[in-house]
Structure 1
Amino acid sequence: MALKTYKFRLYPTRKQAEKLQWTLARCCELYNAALQERREMYTYTGKGTTYNQQAMQLPEIKGIREEYKDIHSQVLQDVLRKVENAFKGFFKRVKAGKKPGYPRFQGCNRYDSFCYPQAGFSLENGLLVLSKVGHVKIKQHRKVLGNMKTCTLKREGNCWYVCLVCEVQSVPRTPYTDECVGIDLGVSKLATLSTGDVIENPQHYRRAEKQLAKAGQALSRKKRGSKRCKKAVERMARLHRKVRNQRNDYLHQWSRRLVNTYETIVFEEIAPANLSKRAKPKQDEETGHYLPNGASAKSGLNKSILDTGWSTFIARCEYKAENAGTVQVVKVDPRMTSQVCSGCGTVVKKDLSERWHSCACGYELDRDHNAAINIRNRWLGRSHQEAQAS
């Protein structure tokens, strides 16, 4: 059995939308109160508290704050579980020697979801039935399979979505071929396959950049806290949400095609977060003045790298392959894949601006295509002579 999440758009009435927003605000209050209690208890006693101890206080809280009676009990319990998980993650990072990131208080604009973890929800005749909320209209664009386990209500701008986690029986899917394909991720092109095929980069963010710039300028002219300011913020959020949805849709389509076609998909083991770091400042040792460091060009490259969504693309392929059961997604060491000739194995040093691979052996092809072939051969463990013979 596997877990699968279905995400659908909700169309609540004005009264229902107000109820959902009110519930979200109360959950945010409870989260911050639970976090404050843990901080104060550790400050004054030197000991922390647990989820069970805080959950036992909920009946007493409802006696003091009667509005909490209008929220399903398991929703309130799940809020306390979020606090528990936040601290577990904090202590786990401390033990691992990573940056701890102490749990922080959540503002009303940051806390944007609440969950029915076991009960209090159902689907009936094209409507989502929520305890203490009512029957909400849902855009159910696909059939929900399996047994529903949890129901999460999520706010994105002025829109509401529901995420239904279902336990489904995984059905193996056989790809069209039993081939192995190497994939070189790029900026000008999203990906180049070892077969020579190219996945174009639609550059969704770049195409919307002018609109976003105008919306940002309009926002900067508004008085903070005014109704016009809120409308400008909503417009910015709407534009960013559109870009994100376009990117997700495009990556979903291509990851599905790859998983349906190939038995083994090979990527480079890259870290986009490291590749998109800003340029380090250069300082003259004698005068102390800062020297040109190419920060402007690096900033533009970083923006393009993040616009492609490499990590998301790989993650989409991985979970689809896992669901298929007969497909595997693997990663190889990326070192020298662009410099080594896939024909003879000679190292041909190339500048990043050189987009064509040309070797003394007479082997010529696109730089990214050459890298994709090297990525595939590296996974197969082939030498360059064996790759040519095949």
Structure 2
Amino acid sequence: MARKACKYRLYPTKPQQKDLERTLELCRQLYNAALQERREAYKKAKKSLSLYEQKRGLPEIRADLPEYKRVHSQVLQDVLQRVDRAFQGFFRRLKARKGQAGFPRFKGRGRYDSFTFPQAYTTGVKLQEGGKRVLIHGVGSVKVKLHRPLEGQLKTATIKREGNEWYLILVCEVEPKPLPLSREAVGIDLGTNPHFLITSEGEMVQAPRYLHKAQHKLAIAQRDLARKKRGSNRYEKARRQIAKLHRKIANQRRDFHHKIARRLVNRYGAIVHEDLNILGLGRSHVAKGVHDAGWAQFLRILAYKAEEAGRRVITVDPKYTSQDCPVCGHRERRPLWVREFTCPACGASLHRDVAAARNILAKAWTGPSGTGPAWAVP
């Protein structure tokens, strides 16, 4: 069994929107209180509170603060679970980075944007009227746009705020549906401009460059924000406008990634790409292009679509993929502006990125003498 998440748009009325915002604010306050409790316990008694010790205090909180009675108990437990995960991540980073890690932070007003029902299949969230409305505990019956049917058994439900919009994210447990077997394999080379992706078969996918295209609008909106008095209503309106533009860019990029990944997964049984240091590239002189392309998101989407379809995604070492000739193996370092070249050893005329994609595919062959493809190894 696999888990699949579906995201649906909610259309709450103004009173329902106030109820949702109140729930978020109560969850934010509980998160900060739980974080402060852990900090004080360690500061005064050198003791680390566990998740279950904090959960035991929830009945007392609900008894002393009546407003928390309207929030489902499982939602409150999930808030404490988030605090626990934040500390687990902190200790993991502390160990990996040898003492350098960011301590979990308090959530400021407006910085806590979702709450979760961990067992939505039993209580908390229920679809009504054939999927036209959803009943949310403490909020009521809210209109929902169920643009695609649910599959499998419902597990968790998350209510999320994005700007002025509200979304329902349902996680279901579904049976995997592998695609028919394909013995075709492809190597892909990722780029930023003018091509987002180049395959070993010579196919070139143009880079949409959504951030680059929206730069003029963003510059105007940001200049408008800079003229407003911080904290005023006009300032908040201008800030929301900028956030809306960034959301549109992110949605366009995500849609593009889904379509390209689906096309690759439907056709090929094995997809090979470089094991890129995207975090490092995102801090280099090409950072803007890398962030605009969204390589990390694309590779993540490609990986889960391939797993669901029964395909394989293979990573290889990126060293020398753009310097080696895929025909004879001659290695020659060339400046990045050289896109077309002729190999001085064998005379093959090649496009730099197509050659790199072919080298990437060739690296996926296993064995000291290249005795078989990596995707054929059980």
Measure how far apart 1:381 and its partner are: 4.8
Q: Does the alignment pair 1:307 with 2:292? A: yes
Q: Which amino acid aligns with 2:68?
A: Y
Q: Does the alignment pair 1:337 with 2:321? A: yes
Which position in structure 2 is the counterpart of 1:102?
A: 103
Task: Pick from 120, 138, 147 the counterpart of residue 124 of structure 2.
Answer: 120
- Structure 2 CA distance, aligned partners of 1:131 and 1:307? 39
Which position in structure 1 is the counterpart of 2:52?
A: 52
Q: Which amino acid aligns with 1:267?
A: H
Which position in structure 2 is the counterpart of 1:352?
A: 336
- Structure 2 CA distance, aligned partners of 1:80 and 1:374? 48
- Structure 1 CA distance, aligned partners of 2:136 and 2:320? 55
Q: Which amino acid aligns with 1:318?
A: A
Measure how far apart 1:171 and its partner are: 1.6
Task: Pick from 175, 183, 199 the counterpart of residue 188 of structure 2.
Answer: 183
Corresponding residue SS for 1:354: coil
Measure how far apart 1:268 and its partner are: 0.5
Task: Pick from 340, 358, 376 the counterpart of residue 373 of structure 1.
Answer: 358
Native 8 Å contact 1:185 1:310 kept in 2: yes
Measure how far apart 1:96 and its partner are: 2.8
Measure how far apart 1:348 and its partner are: 2.2
Task: Pick from 308, 312, 315 the counterpart of residue 328 of structure 1.
Answer: 312
Q: Does the alignment pair 1:268 with 2:274? A: yes
Count of residues in correspondence between the two structures: 363
Measure how far apart 1:92 and its partner are: 2.1
- Structure 2 CA distance, aligned partners of 1:352 and 1:50? 53
Q: Deviations over 1:166-198 (max 9, x none)?
A: 1111121125x4211000111111010000001
Measure how far apart 1:76 and its partner are: 0.9
Q: Deviations over 1:54-107 (max 9, x none)?
A: 122122112221111111111111111111111122222223335422111011
What stretches of structure 2 of length at least 5 have no aligned partner?
374-378
- Structure 1 CA distance, aligned partners of 2:49 and 2:187? 50
Q: Percent identity?
A: 47
Task: Pick from 208, 226, 230 the counterpart of residue 232 of structure 2.
Answer: 226
Corresponding residue SS for 1:374: helix
Which position in structure 2 is the counterpart of 1:288?
A: none
Which position in structure 1 is the counterpart of 2:220?
A: 214
Which position in structure 2 is the counterpart of 1:12?
A: 12
Which position in structure 1 is the counterpart of 2:170?
A: 164
CA-based RMSD of the aligned residues comes to 1.7
Measure how far apart 1:365 and its partner are: 1.7
Corresponding residue SS for 1:182: strand
Corresponding residue SS for 2:364: helix
Which position in structure 1 is the counterpart of 2:304?
A: 319
Q: Which amino acid aligns with 1:72?
A: H
What stretches of structure 1 of length at least 5 have no aligned partner?
279-297
Native 8 Å contact 1:357 1:370 kept in 2: no
Greater Cα offset, 179-188 or 121-130: 121-130
Measure how far apart 1:109 and its partner are: 2.5
Q: Which amino acid aligns with 2:326?
A: S
Which position in structure 2 is the counterpart of 1:136?
A: 142
Greater Cα offset, 129-138 or 250-259: 129-138
Greater Cα offset, 358-367 or 203-212: 358-367
- Provide the TM-score with structure 1 as the length reference: 0.90
Native 8 Å contact 1:114 1:154 kept in 2: yes
Which position in structure 2 is the counterpart of 1:78?
A: 78
Q: Which amino acid aligns with 2:188?
A: I
Q: Which amino acid aligns with 1:178?
A: R
Corresponding residue SS for 1:339: coil
Measure how far apart 1:249 and its partner are: 0.2
Q: Deviations over 1:266-294 (max 9, x none)?
A: 0001011111324xxxxxxxxxxxxxxxx
- Structure 2 CA distance, aligned partners of 1:217 and 1:160? 28
Structure 1 residues 30-49: aligned runs within 5 Å: 30-49=30-49
Corresponding residue SS for 1:9: strand
Measure how far apart 1:329 and its partner are: 0.3
Which position in structure 1 is the counterpart of 2:376?
A: none
Measure how far apart 1:152 and its partner are: 0.5
- Structure 1 CA distance, aligned partners of 2:38 and 2:314? 42
Measure how far apart 1:302 and its partner are: 1.6
Q: Which amino acid aligns with 2:185?
A: C
- Structure 1 CA distance, aligned partners of 2:220 and 2:240? 14
- Structure 2 CA distance, aligned partners of 1:231 and 1:330? 46
Native 8 Å contact 1:117 1:149 kept in 2: yes
Q: Does the alignment pair 1:153 with 2:154? A: no
- Structure 1 CA distance, aligned partners of 2:51 and 2:278? 36
